Amino acid sequence: MPGNGLWRTKSIEQSIADTDEPDTRLRKDLTAWDLTVFGVAVVIGAGIFTLTASTAGNIAGPSVSLAFVLAAIACALAALCYAEFASTVPVAGSAYTFSYATFGEFAAWIIGWDLVLEFAVGSAAVAKGWSAYLQTTLGLFGLDVKTEVGDGVKFDWGAVLLVGVLTVLLVIGTKLSSRVSAVITAIKVAVVLLVIVLGISYINADNYSPFIPPAAGEADAGSGLEQSLFSLATGYSGSTYGVLGMLAAASIVFFAFIGFDVVATTAEETKNPQKAVPRGILGSLAIVTVLYVAVTLVITGMVPYEKLKTQPDGTRATLASAFSDNGVDWAATVISVGALAGLTTVVMVLMLGQSRVLFAMSRDGLLPRNLAKTGSHGTPTRITIIIGALVAVAAGFFPAGKLEEMVNVGTLFAFSLVSAGVLVLRKTRPDLPRGFRVPLVPLVPILAILACLWLMLNLTALTWVRFLAWMALGVVVYFIYSRRNSVLGKTGYAPVEPEPVIKHGEEPGI
């Protein structure tokens, strides 16, 4: 039964039935390989090119590789939960759709609103980074061109150009986007492999000692709202380096893994989602984890970690810094080109994920229904264009600022809710056929929730204030518009005839 008011739920059967509506039908073109490419494309980006070196120098030393492992474990626990949900409910919308089926409409709206922080804000921030790398790359080839122009009001034409081109690609079709993403991803993976292979020959084992540097005493963790929520609550400010430094680094490098959940948003466009989506999610996460750990081991082995600290003028160390320190200056050019390619696919896949979440919300009436209509290419054209315009404005006219933590808190909140949703759906709908099942339930989902909560506690209190303000705005929008226009609220949906008997292990009838 749908339920009443805020907690009315949309049945799994109805969610699947909605995918066959002629006006809002998405084309099923994607395979497990396409999904793996999307996952690798969005995760290998700014994190591996900039975050690895600076986090090693400022917080963790050589143990940054362990920090990446810890962050990967937290992501893997959540990934298992995403895989089960996506194989059970192969519908666009990811965490939004999953929450609608388990916690009800209000929670679904909140998580959909929350995902804007991850996808749209993340797209704008990374587009700004892409533009900066474009300027650097042009400079390496002798072209002194500024990508941000204007006095007073700055206009970043580089970021707007990127968003415009990617919007066109996403409108034309998801399969084409996947092919473009595959080519660019191959380039940046090749650059990462070059870093690993070339860097091995410059490793000095002495640089690994001590692997976990001794704690450097109380860190400048800020005061008031600038300190982590954990510090604000306990009065303990933590330390740089040491075991606590390594744990703090895990919360920071988590940003480097953000995006693998985008794979779940494309479930409705996948030919065999019961098998392909779990393979795409887990496969992409495994690949990037191996590459991240290898890169961190190479970089911290090439130079003493002290040389990777952020400079007094704010300049952060990058992968290129380690090679320049060893006299391999030509590598800086290659790495810059690789970073440019890497950020291109990150922006594209984040915009893809955002469009699919808003598509699902529009189809349910929580946003204007006419936005959910698909064009001749089988993609949600109107939503894609609107998202492209909004991201272009944000990237073109607003400074990137410290958006990483805002993206982190939104993503971790979504991960926690999806993990809890697995427990709820196992209890309420044990009859559903599941193409993939999370092992060791309830242990794995509970561990996923605890891991995400721990990482969230290490984000600043100011980030939490901004997050709660954004969520409050979402609540206002829901009660002013979404609750009154909800398709489920207006009609309760015509009941979908279930199969007479659905036994565990049977193929879903879709």
**CATH number of domain containing 276:** 1.20.1740.10
Question: What pLDDT, on the 0 to 100 scale, is given for residue 219?
Answer: 46
Q: What is the pLDDT of residue 495?
A: 40
Of the two residues 335 and 383, the one the predictor is more confident about is 383
Give tens-digit pLDDT for 383-409: 999 999 999 998 888 775 555 667 778
In terms of Cβ atoms closer than 10 Å to its own Cβ (0-12, 13-18, 19+), residue 399 is: exposed
Give pLDDT, residue 506: 41
Lowest-confidence pick of 182-196, 231-245, 440-454: 231-245
- pLDDT at position 403, please? 59
Query: Does some domain include residue 510?
Result: no
Q: How confident is the model at residue 132 (pLDDT cuts 50, 70, 90)?
A: confident
Tell me the C-alpha distance between 150 and 158, whole Å.
13
- With a pLDDT cut of 70, the percent of the chain lying above it is 84
- Kindly state the average pLDDT of the residues 114-138: 83
Query: Is residue 365 left, alpha or beta, with left meaning phi > 0 and alpha meaning psi from -120 to 50?
Result: left
Query: What pLDDT does residue 388 have?
Result: 94
Residue 28 in any domain: the answer is yes
pLDDT > 70? residue 275 = yes
Domain span at residue 96 reads: 5-491
Residue 20 pLDDT level (bands cut at 50, 70, 90): low
Is the separation of the CB atoms in 291 and 189 below 8 Å?
yes
- The identity of residue 176, as a single letter, is L
Of the candidates 229, 249, 251, which has an alpha carbon nearest to the alpha carbon of residue 239?
A: 249
Mean pLDDT in residue range 362-368: 91
How far apart CA 145 and CA 350 sit, in angstroms, is 27
User: Is residue 434 in a domain?
Assistant: yes
Q: Say whether pLDDT at 52 is over 90.
A: no
Instruction: Give the pLDDT confidence score for residue 230 in this predicted structure.
Output: 72
36 with 283: CB under 8 angstroms?
Answer: yes
501 inside domain: no
The verdict on residue 502 lying in a domain is no
**121 pLDDT higher than 60:** yes
Round to whole Å and give the CA distance between 431 and 423. 14
Section 323-333 average pLDDT = 80
- Judged by average pLDDT, the poorest of 155-159, 259-263, 439-443 is 259-263
Closest by CA position to 428, among listed 112, 103, 77, 110 = 103
The pLDDT of residue 466 is 86
Please state the domain count of the chain: 1
Read off the amino acid at residue 422. V
Mean pLDDT computed over every residue of the chain:
80
At 510, list the tokens.
Answer: 């879709």
The pLDDT, as a whole number, for residue 159 is 92
